[in-house]
Amino acid sequence: MFGIIRPCRHRLSAGLHADWLAHLCGLCLALRDEHGQLARMVTNYDGLIISALVEAQSPRAEGRRDAGPCPLRAMKGTSVAKGGGAQLAAAVSLVLASAKISDHVEDRDGAFARRSVALAARRVATRWADQGSRTGIRVGFDTAVLTEAVDRQSEIENAVRLGDSAVLATEPAELATAAAFAHTAVLAGRPENAAPLAEAGRLFGRAAHLLDAVEDLAEDEAAGAWNPLTATGTGLAEARRLCDDAVLGVELALREVRFDQPKLVHALLVHELRQAVRRAFGHNLTGHGHGHGPQQPPPGWIGPGPQPQQHPHQPYPPQQYPQGGYQPPPPPPGAPGGGGPPQEPPKKKRKHGGAPTDGQGGCCWTPKFRVPAQSRGFFFGCAVATYMCCSCQFCCRDPFPGAWSGKPHEAWCNNCDGCDCCNCCDCSC
C-alpha cells in the first residue's frame, strides 16, 4: 500500500471520521496484539481500506470492540474494528512493508547502503513477511500472491522501454490489491462481490502506483532512480488521464458490489481517491498540456501546497517564471505593505533562506528544522516518525519536517479543498 488516501476531519462527517479512525486503530492494535510493538510501524492509511471493505459488507455488530486510551486519541477509549478484516489488513500491510524494505536494501538506498543497516533491515523484512503469512493463513488468505507480484516488479522494470504504456509497470500493484480486495468478500460471506471488488482493487492499485510515481518524479530524476513515468516517457498529462480513468473505473466497479454500509467505502475509494489525484498533480509545478518535467519552484517554496494564483498585475502565469525567478504580486489592501488597515502577520514564514518557523506548538514540536535539511537513517527516522505521529505533528504542525528527509512539508489538514462537496449521505455506489 502506498498511503495515498489521507482523509481529514474537514472532508468527512463526524460519524465517517469516527468509523475511519476505528479501522485505523483496529489495524494498529491487530498488529500489536499478534506481532508485537515493532509491527505497529507498518500501520498505514491505505491498509485500513481492507478492514473497511469487510465491515461494509457485514453487520456492524460483528466487527467492533472496545479499546483503551491512546495518545493519538487524546487518551480516550473508543470502539475499534476487529476480526478478520483487521487481520487481513494487518497481513497485507506486513507483507508489502517487508517488500518495500527489501527493495530499498536491493537498491542500496541511503542508509541501506551500509552493510550493518542492510543486514538488520533484511532481518526485519524477513520477520514481517513470515508474520504476515501466518496472519493471512488464519483468515484463509495466501500471501504468496502478494510476494509473487512484488517479485515480478524487478522483471517488469527491466522489460519496460521508452514509448511503452506506463500501466505495464503497474501490473504487480494491480494484482496484489485485486487479490486483497477480492478476499474481503470471502471474509464477509459475500462471494458474489469478489469479482467487482477484484476489479476495483486492480484499478486502485494502478492509480496508487501512478500517483506514487508522480509524487516521487522530481526526486527520482535528481537521484537517477527508476520511475515508470521517466522510463516510458509518459508525460504528466497522460499520467493524469490514466489516473482519472482508474478512479472512474473504481467507482463503476463499486456500484456492482452489494454493501450493507457503503458510506465510508464510497468516501475513501471515490471522493478521497479523487482528492489524492488532485493533490498529486496540483502539487507538481508543471504545465499539464505539454508533458514537460517539473520546473523550478519559486524562491521560498517550502513544500507541497496550493500553487500561487494568477494576479492581474503579475506579468507571468504561475507556472512560467522569468529569468529572475518568481515575483510575488503587489500586496492587496490590508496586507503588510499595502493600503488599508494593518492585518495580523502570518504565523509562519521563511527568513532569508533560513529554517522555516513553526506555528503554535511550543516545546512539543521536535525535531527542529535545520538548514540544510538533516536526513536520518531508516531506524532513527522510524523513531522520529513515531514520536511525531504520537504528538500529532503531521496534522497540526505547519510546516513539519520529514521524519527521514528533514525537509519541510505542509500539514496534512491544510490539504482540504472543496470540503462542501463530500457529503456522502446522498451518495450511493
Which of 305, 308, 309, 307 is CA-nearest to residue 411?
305
Which of 161, 288, 296 is CA-nearest to residue 236?
288
Residue 34 CB coordination number (10 Å): 17
| pLDDT in the model for residue 418 | 44
d(CA 428, CA 420): 17
What region does 221 belong to: left with phi over 0, alpha with psi -120 to 50, or beta?
alpha
| pLDDT in the model for residue 286 | 42
Q: Is the pTM for the entire model greater than 0.75?
A: no
User: Can you tell me which residue has the cell 505539454?
Assistant: 290
Q: 368: which DSSP letter?
A: P
Do strands 78-81 and 400-401 pair parallel, antiparallel, or not at all (unpaired)? unpaired
Q: 80: which DSSP letter?
A: E
Q: Which residue ranges make up each domain of the chain?
A: 9-141, 362-414
pLDDT along the chain (429 residues), means of 10: 75 88 90 88 90 88 74 76 90 90 80 86 91 93 90 88 93 94 95 96 95 90 90 94 96 95 94 92 51 40 41 41 45 49 45 51 69 79 81 74 81 51 41
User: Can you tell me which residue has the cell 462471494?
Assistant: 191
Opening angle at CA 31, ends 41 and 21, nearest 5: 80
409: β partners: 400
- For residue 217, the number of C-alpha atoms closer than 13 Å in the C-beta half-sphere is 27
Instruction: Tell me the pLDDT tens digit for each residue of 314-326.
Output: 444 444 444 444 4
| pLDDT in the model for residue 118 | 87
Q: 97: helix, coil or strand?
A: helix
Give helix 14-35 / helix 48-56 axis angle, nearest 10°. 110
The H-or-E segment that residue 409 falls in is strand 408-409
Q: Which residues contact residue 59 at a Cβ distance below 8 angstroms, ignoring those fewer than 6 apart?
A: 260
| pLDDT in the model for residue 253 | 97
